[in-house]
Structure 1
């Protein structure tokens, strides 16, 4: 009886008539009954495909390999299916060989890809640090909400409703001038249709000025400088300067009182460990380092330390012409997570004040520079004066959790570049601002103790009294009265933090290393440019198609892009010691960038520092350098101690204050009239901006379900009066647990257990290091990863596990040295083959303010369910084989695909019938431009999920009118090399000793679907295929690189 064939526009399950085949597909997706029926039908097809007999493939020695078992077998493995060997078409060939699975090292389920534990062991501070007072206070938002209700105002007051508030919010944040706002409000369409309650710019800003403001208000103090230059009237010239500032204690109170930081703030120090024995420290936020722990020991019982982080940097305001400048001083606190502090949108760093920028023409040129230094310290001392009493006696503050604590604001860190670090510490710029080493000894690899603040203060005091202490000249001091002498518990020399941007990227790398290495290479810059141009393109790498010698303006982005490939540029081009020096510097830079450190990674940082000093003498031998006594090279000596003291260097990069200049200096200056009173106008503009941000956060806190479009998402604020959560968040403190010995794993606990024999008390927590990340490989017993066979054929590869993954271009051999062609199957559709966390897994137990609410886990999982993402429709839906061969450069495509199909069928006659039709030059094949792969999460590098893009697109003609040719974009990737048994294996753990084990370099030529003339489902091919060309295999690892 012939089978009934339904038209394409009828559902094969419920027989509903639809418009077309696309409508049938949507109908099946949306109807649960039809969806289940389709899944069952597909499972039966897979069973039928398997019943065709075993797939026999030729091995390297002519042996028969076992039957391929890929992910398409998982659907029927649980079914009771009896198959008679006599019915199998290949039964006469004897019993099948047993499945061979290559053994791989066990993966520690408690350790992430980067080697960090998924749950850190915590040693709480033994005292009663961060204790809340007996009273329960109200946060600023609670007080504001209470006052609003008492006045009988609506939630949106002084605006009529949410729509009018959204308009006002846009007018303020859009950057429109007051003249433009006036014009907009006078438009007929605005008056007739929008009808806002404010009809002019004046009325609009009256409402803005009615918004609640913070406690830190602006004040100005006038200082008069009496110079040594005599004026025309015979008197000494005078100059009056303005110091605009806010009370730093009020700034700290606003930060501590902000409910938006509830889930990202801590009140006591702790020590984190990677092991239960407490031998491997973890360093991240300031609270996990040593400074806070040590200072807490000097505080009263129950004190809450607020580590003050200052940053200052002079910036130019004028564009193209003019000499207007500003000198902002920023303030934040180390209680807030560094991931939040670094986000300008979180407003966790506030503007403390503006230092005066003046030429001091009332002084002679001989004294002018010194008086400028003294003016800086005098202004900073007046700006920070409230911290003296607050740091000594403490101040009661309401915290985001509603509890009242006695807070002690203590200066902990100061972010500045080298010239400003010398200005802050009071020394000359050719001396180290942190240690007393001489200017002629800075190139030596020897650690030097930090300067003693008490000794430096005493030396400066003796110098101002007319004495000549030898330390004054020995340490290169300047005759100033430092602003930090009266600040309690402050050590300015340990507070000066690493400056990755100016010291490493711009300093050691660009200004020194690139120049040295270029001179050490034969043909110099011409050879370096040629090598940069020859680098293969990659989605994560910048291609310097014109080299680097002609680039005139460099930014931090260019430095970082150069660093990614510079080792490959210099490798093999000169003395091996030059390459080793470059490698040591780059290793140091990348280790210094770590967002999470351990004792082991800090040891590696130190080893890179020692290697740099070991090999750098090659530049003296080549007569490129005479010495290494430059300040930025010496600064690397202080990175490791600073990280152990204050936390990782990414929390103190000068890139952050430079980004803040845009909001707090340049935009504010652009809103002024640019006349002599521009600083006053800037402070007024900033106060309005902060009021709008504050009101937006209040609305998000008060009615998160009603606020749909705010600068700060509602999901980041803690529950307000009308919003009560029904579930416990991951960031909440775990329940107390029994005390266990320090050597045993300790479950989560609320507080540190009381003393047990002086040993460190450790508790297991996920509060700061993230919850365990599930990986894309199936580890559940409900969804096991089936073993899959692989086989090797001459001149062709079939691999059911090799996953194309982007990487920096490896030195695998000369360009174009491809040996074999490969059709990859399963690598794009088999779960469990991508190394790294599942995209649906939780990334962190804390969500910083300003972050958006992620999509539901099931939606994310659905997008990345195969470990990759691909376009719904192919970019090239109907290519001929001839086009693939010529346009994509896939010269052996036909042969490789034919071999692949033969290996799928083996000697099975029924399978062979499915692929009996030969591949013709005009056969139509659908191809894709690219696919995306999620990279494994490495928290040392970033806590964000990184996505790599693998391209495979041919050359084309550019857009009109030039119609310039656009070259082909074929990604070079690391792929898992098929083993001799061609076994599909789970993702392997990273082997530090053999980082390239099992990997090989390949270029992806085509990403395509199996031609429709072949029944992909019956053949077990459930996803796209990839045609790649292998580069020369790795043989011996180059020790120099």
Structure 2
């Protein structure tokens, strides 16, 4: 945090006081006089180190500051995300896979406790730090954002995989058209405290946690981090929240009325348009589909299926498209937030047709599904409240952190001897002053 906070590159590109920009004559809330909030932004995700062979995987934990302006922090050339630590990737020999997951969660939370302890202390008692122009600032370090995918969010929130990490909804509630109460740190810790069981007996403790939909984690890393709220620092994120949802579900809903061959053919005959991707090789044969490709397919999908699908299906899919486009705006007003809410409600009003027409199927079995057990669908209910709380969601994009993996993990790994990657990567970054 100190190296980011006092870096001369960010002079004039950083805010020292939190503010809320009002367009009406509303009162502005203020923090204590002389205090500076250094909002911590964390990101962790497993990434491949080797490309062709070897199967080596790293689990980097990156750190940045929310004080850095969005336009600067989201640029890869700004180097605003630094490598904080490598999290372990354990391999347990327990015969029950569920127990292996619990043991891994215990290890990750314990490591985060050790790594993040200085930040917790600074959030509690503050720390004096130099800013880019060498003025001393009285800094507190709350956790304001943790950018991760859905499975890792469930692990860090100490809940089951089929449970929302930021609300109290379970898998049976994922199709509800309303947002459930937030899953706060106070609620989670109180549920853990109410369990009367020996935590050393992992299997028995896990069974006792089952009624609360908890994963069996005893000491969550966020339990003693002041000014940090569990349901708020898991900020909504475009890549994992709705672009992956589009590719995993929306596209498959479009395949059923058209057929894969016809859908491919329609994409291939779309006239080439300047600044838009042309899928001459069709979409079902794409070898690698990332966030950029998913966004480009979204630009055509409604026009492609309009003549083949029923009006209600087109309306529901178009509503999801409007939801995604409005949510990605760089500046979002109260009017835009209302449009986001209406678009999501319109989808819920028409989504029953997707099941009635047999479009919602299992990816493996291809059997017709009559439920909405889709975690990312429930997470969409948190987009509008998240925008109201933290403004534009583009500032929490995983695209930036994925690019950061190349800079602080993959590129340094290419200069190693293919043994003991972590220590050699850290030495390389120390020489480059990027760690």
- Is the TM value for this pair above 0.5? yes
The answer to whether the Cα contact below 8 Å between 1:431 and 1:475 also exists between their aligned partners in 2 is no
Cα 1:351/1:530, change in 2 over 3 Å: same
Deviation digits for residues 604-661 of structure 1 (CA, Å, limit 9, x no counterpart): 1111111111111111111223121210111100111111212211111211211111
Q: CA separation in 1, counterparts of 2:25 and 2:269?
A: 50
Q: CA separation in 2, counterparts of 1:452 and 1:486?
A: 14
Report the counterpart of residue 185 of structure 1 in structure 2. Answer: none
Report the counterpart of residue 473 of structure 1 in structure 2. Answer: 210
Residue 538 of structure 1 aligns to a residue in which SS?
Answer: coil
Say yes or no: does 1:267 pair with 2:5.
Answer: no
Residue 597 of structure 1 aligns to a residue in which SS?
Answer: coil
Report the counterpart of residue 574 of structure 1 in structure 2. Answer: 309
Q: CA separation in 2, counterparts of 1:354 and 1:526?
A: 44
Report the counterpart of residue 364 of structure 2 in structure 1. Answer: none
Aligned-pair distance for 1:553? 2.5
Q: CA separation in 2, counterparts of 1:319 and 1:544?
A: 26
The answer to whether the Cα contact below 8 Å between 2:163 and 2:213 also exists between their aligned partners in 1 is yes
The answer to whether the Cα contact below 8 Å between 1:410 and 1:490 also exists between their aligned partners in 2 is yes
Say yes or no: does 1:687 pair with 2:430.
Answer: yes
The answer to whether the Cα contact below 8 Å between 2:340 and 2:384 also exists between their aligned partners in 1 is yes
The answer to whether the Cα contact below 8 Å between 2:81 and 2:401 also exists between their aligned partners in 1 is no
Quick one: which of 506, 512, 526 aligns to 2:261? 526
Deviation digits for residues 869-921 of structure 1 (CA, Å, limit 9, x no counterpart): xxxxxxxxxxxxxxxxxxxxxxxxxxxxxxxxxxxxxxxxxxxxxxxxxxxxx
Q: CA separation in 2, counterparts of 1:439 and 1:320?
A: 37
What are the within-5 Å matches in structure 2 for residues 211-610 of structure 1?
252-274=1-23, 276-277=24-25, 297=31, 300-361=32-93, 363-365=94-96, 367-463=99-195, 465-466=197-198, 472-480=209-217, 481-507=219-245, 509-521=246-258, 524-610=259-345
Residue 418 of structure 2 aligns to a residue in which SS?
Answer: coil
Report the counterpart of residue 673 of structure 1 in structure 2. Answer: 417
Residue 385 of structure 1 aligns to a residue in which SS?
Answer: helix
Q: CA separation in 2, counterparts of 1:659 and 1:440?
A: 35
Between structure 1 and structure 2, the one with the greater Rg is 1
Q: CA RMSD in A?
A: 2.2
Say yes or no: does 1:650 pair with 2:394.
Answer: yes
Report the counterpart of residue 363 of structure 2 in structure 1. Answer: none
Aligned-pair distance for 1:400? 2.0
Cα 1:470/1:603, change in 2 over 3 Å: farther
Q: CA separation in 1, counterparts of 2:18 and 2:288?
A: 43
Q: CA separation in 2, counterparts of 1:270 and 1:368?
A: 44
Aligned-pair distance for 1:474? 4.2
Residue 226 of structure 2 aligns to a residue in which SS?
Answer: coil
Aligned-pair distance for 1:470? 11
Deviation digits for residues 78-122 of structure 1 (CA, Å, limit 9, x no counterpart): xxxxxxxxxxxxxxxxxxxxxxxxxxxxxxxxxxxxxxxxxxxxx
The answer to whether the Cα contact below 8 Å between 1:484 and 1:490 also exists between their aligned partners in 2 is yes
- Between the two proteins, the alignment pairs up a number of residues equal to 419
Report the counterpart of residue 775 of structure 1 in structure 2. Answer: none
Aligned-pair distance for 1:437? 1.1
The answer to whether the Cα contact below 8 Å between 2:413 and 2:425 also exists between their aligned partners in 1 is yes
The TM-score, its normalising length taken from structure 2, stands at 0.91
Which structure is higher in RCO with an 8 Å CA cutoff and minimum separation 6?
2
The answer to whether the Cα contact below 8 Å between 2:44 and 2:60 also exists between their aligned partners in 1 is yes
Aligned-pair distance for 1:685? 0.5
Deviates more, 1:488-497 or 1:551-560: 551-560
The answer to whether the Cα contact below 8 Å between 1:308 and 1:409 also exists between their aligned partners in 2 is yes
Residue 111 of structure 2 aligns to a residue in which SS?
Answer: helix
Q: CA separation in 2, counterparts of 1:600 and 1:684?
A: 50
Cα 1:666/1:624, change in 2 over 3 Å: same
The answer to whether the Cα contact below 8 Å between 2:166 and 2:184 also exists between their aligned partners in 1 is no
What are the within-5 Å matches in structure 2 for residues 874-953 of structure 1?
none
Q: Higher strand proportion, which one?
A: 1
Cα 1:483/1:611, change in 2 over 3 Å: same
Cα 1:353/1:463, change in 2 over 3 Å: same
Report the counterpart of residue 738 of structure 1 in structure 2. Answer: none
Q: Higher helix proportion, which one?
A: 2
Residue 272 of structure 1 aligns to a residue in which SS?
Answer: coil
Residue 331 of structure 1 aligns to a residue in which SS?
Answer: strand
Q: CA separation in 2, counterparts of 1:553 and 1:257?
A: 39
Q: CA separation in 1, counterparts of 2:298 and 2:167?
A: 29
Aligned-pair distance for 1:412? 1.0
Which consecutive residues of structure 2, in runs of 5 or more, have no partner in the other structure?
Answer: 200-204, 361-369
Which consecutive residues of structure 1, in runs of 5 or more, have no partner in the other structure?
Answer: 1-251, 280-289, 694-1041
Aligned-pair distance for 1:277? 4.2
Q: CA separation in 2, counterparts of 1:432 and 1:304?
A: 32
The answer to whether the Cα contact below 8 Å between 1:262 and 1:401 also exists between their aligned partners in 2 is yes
The TM-score, its normalising length taken from structure 1, stands at 0.39
The answer to whether the Cα contact below 8 Å between 1:462 and 1:469 also exists between their aligned partners in 2 is no
Q: CA separation in 1, counterparts of 2:189 and 2:318?
A: 41
Aligned-pair distance for 1:434? 0.6
Deviation digits for residues 525-563 of structure 1 (CA, Å, limit 9, x no counterpart): 233223222322111111222432333421222111111
